[in-house]
Amino acid sequence: MTARTQVRARGAARILALAGLVAAGAASAQENPRIEAGRAAMEAGDTSRARASFTEAVNRGDAVEASLGEYYLALMSDEALDLPAALAGYRHFVARDPGSRFAARAMARIDDLEAHSEGRFVPLAALERVRRSPDLSNDAHALEALDAQAGTWPPGNVRAEAWLLVGEAYLGRMQRPRDAARVFLRLARDDGASAAMRELAATRLVAARAVLGESVRAEQELSGARVTDAVRAEAAVLARRVRLGRGATWVLGILGAATAAGIAAVLRRGQLSEVLRRWRRPMPLVQLAVLTVGGAALAKASDDHEVRPFLLLGGGVLAVYLAAVVLNVAGGTTPGARAARAAVCVLAVLSVAFLTMLRCDPMMLEGIGL
């Protein structure tokens, strides 16, 4: 299970725990009038009457009703974000009836609260206030305030989860990858966060920097973070692709500039007809057609592969071929000049192939170790 899956699973477990606690008591409420009255009041939004009914159940009910009263009082405190009272209530419930079939759910909630008790639950209450509210969790000002507030909290799970919540919102629905990268970097370097949380933050940092086209920066930033080799390797791969992409762009730029100079020389010398004659040679064009159209048809027929990479590759290689013809006509005839032209054209073809794979299907680069 990945770090991200573990974090999501813990969040889902909290929701299921609370939902389970609600459902658990509902089964027994019909047999306990005070509990049933309290539940009806809760559903009506009358928290004062509900609390009074559950308190009466604790003080005057039999053992089962009293334990359920403790449970519902704890649940109400939990929902009201009075988390110290909720923790105490769950403990009282389990202490009253440790053999209850609902005790396991209550104990799971106890464990979760204890694991997030730093700062006497003040940080957790602030986090839950945003996390439980669709309006606040989608409000930029609320998230910015939570981000700043979390910086004043003691190290621990709550601070880490708050920064993760903010970072995910920035990277996803708010489309603020630069702010997301800032938050994820802070979390990836947070020694108070768990190893799983740091790894997840580092992975999301790499993703945010990739969106910004700053994968090289992500590799540099992770050099000071305690993260796994797998995350570093991912950052290194993306950074290497950026460097290779820049190099490929420079090669094609140099070839383009040289071709423009060659065309000017050809026109000046009156050699345009020679260039056109060589461009019309059928064999190179047939070979390019076999490479592109033939390769695309074969890939489409064999595994329904997308044909666009082959067509882009063919178009790019055709452009390199046309440029090579111009350079051969306009350039020198010495062995050194010919070798230099050949080297540039080979690099240009490799650059076209790399940029095509990078744009269309980066998974192809993994197959060749890039």
Residues 203 and 271 in one domain: no
367 confidence band (pLDDT: 50, 70, 90): low
Coil, strand or helix at 57: helix
78 & 142 share domain: no
The verdict on residue 324 lying in a domain is yes
Q: Which of 54-68, 123-137, 310-324, 353-367 has the lowest mean pLDDT?
A: 353-367
Same domain, 195 and 263: no
Distance, CA of 113 to CA of 337 (rounded, Å): 74
pLDDT tens-place string over residues 87-106: 999 998 898 888 877 788 89
Q: What angle do CA 18, 19, 24 make, to 5 degrees?
A: 100
Q: Decide which of 63, 87, 115 is a domain's last residue.
A: 115
Burial tier of 251 (Cβ tally within 10 Å: 0-12, 13-18, 19+): buried
Contact 190, 155 (CB under 8 A): yes
Asked whether residue 257 is assigned to any structural domain, the reply reads: yes
Report yes or no on 248 lying in a domain: yes
DSSP per-residue letters across 206-273? HHHHHHHT-HHHHHHHGGGS---HHHHHHHHHHHHHHHHHHHHHHHHHHHHHHHHHHHHHHHHHT-HH
Instruction: Tell me whether residue 234 is in a domain.
Output: no
pTM here?
0.70
pLDDT of residue 368: 65
* Those residues with Cβ within 8 angstroms of residue 270's Cβ, 6 or more apart along the chain or in another chain: none
Of 6-10, 78-82, 151-155, 315-319, which gets the smallest average pLDDT?
6-10
| 127 and 80, same domain (yes or no) | no
pLDDT in tens, 192-250: 888 889 889 888 998 898 888 888 888 888 876 777 777 777 777 777 888 888 888 89
What pLDDT was estimated at residue 29? 45
Q: Which two tokens stand for residue 315?
A: 């178009």
Q: Report the domain count for the chain.
A: 3
Give alpha helix (H) positions in the chain.
Answer: 3-29, 33-44, 47-60, 63-79, 83-96, 103-114, 122-131, 134-137, 140-150, 157-171, 177-188, 195-212, 215-221, 229-269, 272-279, 282-289, 295-303, 308-330, 335-360, 363-367
Q: First CA to last CA across the chain, in angstroms?
A: 26
Asked if the structure places residue 31 within a domain, the reply is yes
Residue 112 has pLDDT above 60, yes or no: yes
In a domain, 337, yes or no: yes
Residue 67: how many other CB atoms lie within 10 Å: 26
> What is the chain's mean pLDDT, rounded?
81
What the block records as the tokens of 297 is: 């048809």
Return the pLDDT at 129.
Answer: 93
Statement to judge: residues 259 and 362 lie in one domain: yes
Of the candidates 57, 87, 115, which is a domain's last residue? 115
Residues 147 and 174 in one domain: yes
Q: Does 239 fall in a domain? A: no
CA distance 65 to 97: 10
Both tokens of 323, joined, read: 């440029």
pLDDT per residue as tens digits for the range 284-317: 777 777 777 666 666 666 666 666 777 777 778 7
- Whether residue 4 contacts residue 81, with contact meaning beta carbons closer than 8 Å, is answered with no
Binning pLDDT at 50, 70 and 90, where does residue 28 land?
very low
Is the same domain home to 213 and 165? yes
Last residue in a domain, options 82, 99, 115: 115
Residue 166 CA to residue 186 CA, distance in Å, equals: 12
Residue 279 is part of which domain span? 244-367
DSSP assignments along 184-205, one per residue: HHHHHT-TTS-HHHHHHHHHHH
Judgement on whether residues 253 and 353 belong to the same structural domain of the protein? yes
